[in-house]
Structure 1
Amino acid sequence: MGQPWACLRALILWMVIEMATRRRFLAGLAVSGLIPTTGWADVGAPAFLSAAGGSDGTYCLVGLTDRGEPVFQIPLPARGHAAAAHPNRAEAVAFARRPGRFAIVLDCATGSVLARLDAPKGRHFYGHGAFSADGLLLFTTENAYDAARGVVGIWDTRTYRRQGEFPSGGIGPHDIRLMPDGETLVVANGGIETHPDSGRAKLNLPLMQPNLTYLSAEGEVLEQAELAPEMHMNSIRHLDVRADGLVGFATQWQGSTADSPSVVGLHRRGEAPELLSATLTQARAMDGYGGSVAFYEGGTRIAVSSPRGGLVQLGDVGARVVDSQLNMPDVCGLGVSDGALRASTGTGAFWAATATPTILTQQPVAWDNHLVRVSRG
């Protein structure tokens, strides 16, 4: 019996050594970034991410096809606003609705929570974030509420630990995007001062100064742009960026509805921002509220949604004019698939937003504010 036991002990010792060697090998690969990662194709190749709420009071993040069909659904602890999709890995950061103090990093292949981002003391998130081009950093818009200033948080995505922050260039930073150069960030500073002790109350409307701020990844202010002084109550909130660097923005008017201006605009660096021309009837129909914005048809056209108005207004980018609108109850999320416009609503509908809008799918959820495009390489 001695020889078999000796062989068994030798086999066990070999397995232990082999596993230890394998662990060291994999650890080395992890450090070098050579371990194959789960990509978006491995989780059903979703076209969009959207937060959603169920009729039972639960919340989730959903991956959607171009037609609005769910490919995965992951629970969230509270209502979400928007998400950020990692450029390479099947990971998403789901942000709580403002003034949320947490964001959840989700493995979209397993549904597991990889990390929880907690805003530092004196900060809360604004519901949006953007990854660096290489995916190594995450940038988050935040409110330093006791100082009434905006900041951009920096997180290392290998550990999701906070690395620091820099000023956003204004008050109330909401949306943030990476520009096509892969190096510059653009931030929509809405200009509205809030404090969590006051809920969602707006504390500085007479003095607000919204702007677009272009920043380096190190926080250097490269350029700032403001609307005309009479538009200082037109809070710049949401963004889309065309491949050539033209920025589209959606605004939320804080003045009288009777005086509502257009709530969609364009900006190119080195020039003044401008709102698309809209008739008084068109402007009033949006109830002063731009919810999401998206370029479509190869960037020749732009759309802005209004859940309050139940409308999507469409504009000609070259002519800088709003030229039509689509009626969609409780619409907010906008996305683009092969140049064609898509929209999601709080009624659970996912629309092909064509000249004759068509509901592609209907789900038993309330889609939240945004459709976040997933890069599929």
Structure 2
Amino acid sequence: LVWQTTMPERVHDIVVQPIFDAQNSSAKNNQNRDVVVMGRRPSAKFWVLDTASGQVNFAIKASTHRHFYGHACYSLDGKLLYVTENDTLTLDGKIGIYDAEDNYKKIAEFDSHGIGPHELIMHPDGETLVIANGGIKTEQASREELNLDSMRPSLVYLNRHTGALLEQITPEHNQMSVRHLAMHDDGTVMIGIQFQGEKHINVPLVLTHKRGDSEFKPLIMPNNQWQRFHQYIASVAVDSERNLLCVTTPIGGCAAIYDLSTRELIDDVGLPDCAGAAVLSNQSADKAGDNNRQSGFIVSDGQGQLTALTVDSLATAQLDTVEKNDRILKDSKCHMMSFDNHLQAL
């Protein structure tokens, strides 16, 4: 444990500030970057902590008639923070823009072109915001879902400077709440769905989209058994270098890893109440040479475990020749705490 900071309420996502351009006189090193901690939706606050010490530098309160929806992302230069918000009068989704160089003062606001925006990420082009509009109306200080029959979820691409709508894609079923996102380096968006419909309806829960595509593309589920994930994906994390995707489902009690080259499931691993997922860094293997590097993810759960999931290198190349039980190696470490929804590598 490097540091821990007690928070005044339950929190949801953690967003690490990118390192500024090294050519820039205001370049930041790893020791004094910010980490933004978002309150669990609906929350009226987010906090800015110092990555080196965990000290809370700022506590930012939502504007009048606004609350936060649990996620944020930085511009690639780390100078602006974009936050999903709710207009508590109209119930329209908003994107608040905060100046990281001016004590996180709110400087502008865009329409999310949908209801209930949740996670948002920055496109590798540095100019485009990608937003998951969950489609569910909620009122101030409430998690009650008001419009499940008439939901309108969507994935939206916005110009980050002007707020102009560039593209908007809707899923095949209006109760497929577009909720969690990860971005591949090649510009492909990884999408985790939380389905709000009847339990017997089987819909794909892990989708991809690339700008210009007219619809989402689901990943392949053996025998189309998406019920394995109990209609709920909590996190998605992508290893662009090795073309792997990890998704978690606390309700389904498992983490699953996909090979994005084939779009096929490598395997799923039982992990009760797992939610957070991040790419596993293996620096010692990097030094030994790329051939020895293990591919994998680290997953957190409500039981206090941090679990490294390492993918057998043969599993991605020759899935049929590797026994199912040997495709993913599971290594758990227990901590005296319960981990919540999201996990980020710094």
* Misfit runs of 4+, over 4 Å: none
Q: Which residue of 1 aligns with 2:211?
A: 269
5 Å-filtered alignment, 1:132-143, equals 132-143=75-86
Q: What pairs with 1:142-291 in structure 2 (closer than 5 Å)?
A: 142-158=85-101, 159-196=103-140, 199-218=142-161, 219-228=163-172, 231-271=173-213, 272-279=215-222, 282-291=225-234
> How far 1:366 sits from its partner (Å)?
0.7
Q: Secondary structure at the match of 1:372?
A: coil
Could you tell me how far 1:196 is from its partner in structure 2? 2.4
CA contact (8 A) 2:128 2:160 kept: yes
Determine whether 1:82 maps to 2:24.
Answer: no
Aligned counterparts, 1:1-377, within 5 A: 70-88=1-19, 89-158=32-101, 159-196=103-140, 199-218=142-161, 219-228=163-172, 231-271=173-213, 272-279=215-222, 282-296=225-239, 298-338=241-281, 339-354=295-310, 355-374=327-346
Partner of 1:73: helix, strand, or coil? coil
What TM-score, normalized to structure 2?
Answer: 0.83
Query: Relative contact order (alpha carbons < 8 A, sep ≥ 6): 1 or 2 greater?
Result: 1
Q: Does the Cα contact within 8 Å between 1:351 and 1:357 map onto a contact in 2?
A: no
- Equivalent in the alignment of 2:22: none
Q: In structure 2, give the amino acid aligned to 1:207.
A: S
**Matches of 2:82 and 2:175, distance apart in 1:** 26
| Distance in structure 2 (CA, Å) of the matches to 1:358 and 1:323 | 14
- Equivalent position SS for 1:284: helix
Q: Hey, what does 2:284 align to over in structure 1? A: none
Count the aligned residue pairs.
Answer: 302
Q: CA deviation at 1:352?
A: 1.2
Letter in 1 for 2:146: L
Gaps of 5+ in 1: 1-69
Distance in 1, matches of 2:159 and 2:146, equals: 29
8 A contact 1:297–1:340 mirrored in 2: no
CA distance in 2, matches of 1:300, 1:112: 36
More helix by share: 1
Shift of 1:156: 0.8
1:57 maps to what in 2?
A: none
Q: TM-score if structure 1 supplies the norm length?
A: 0.76
**Is the 8 Å Cα contact of residues 44 and 62 (structure 2) preserved in structure 1?**
yes
String of CA shifts for 1:254-287, please: whole Å, max 9, x gaps.
Answer: 0112113221110011012122232567311211
Within 2, Cα distance between the matches of 1:373 and 1:212? 25
Residue segments in structure 2 that go unaligned for 5+ positions in a row? 20-31, 282-294, 311-326
Q: 1:212 to 1:299 in 2, by over 3 A?
A: farther
Q: 1:261 touches 1:280 (CA, 8 Å); kept in 2?
A: no
The one-letter code sitting in structure 2 at the alignment partner of 1:343 is: V
Q: Which moved more, 1:177-186 or 1:319-328?
A: 319-328
The alignment's C-alpha RMSD in Å is 1.7
State the identity as a percent.
Answer: 36
Whole-angstrom CA distance in 1 between matches of 2:116 and 2:128: 19
Q: For 1:212 and 1:297, how far apart are their aligned partners in 2?
A: 21
Structure 1 CA distance, aligned partners of 2:223 and 2:140?
35
Displacement of 1:205: 1.0
Question: 1:72–1:108: 8 Å Cα contact kept in structure 2?
Answer: no
Aligned partner of 1:26 in structure 2 is: none
Conserved in 2, the CA contact under 8 Å of 1:326 and 1:357? no
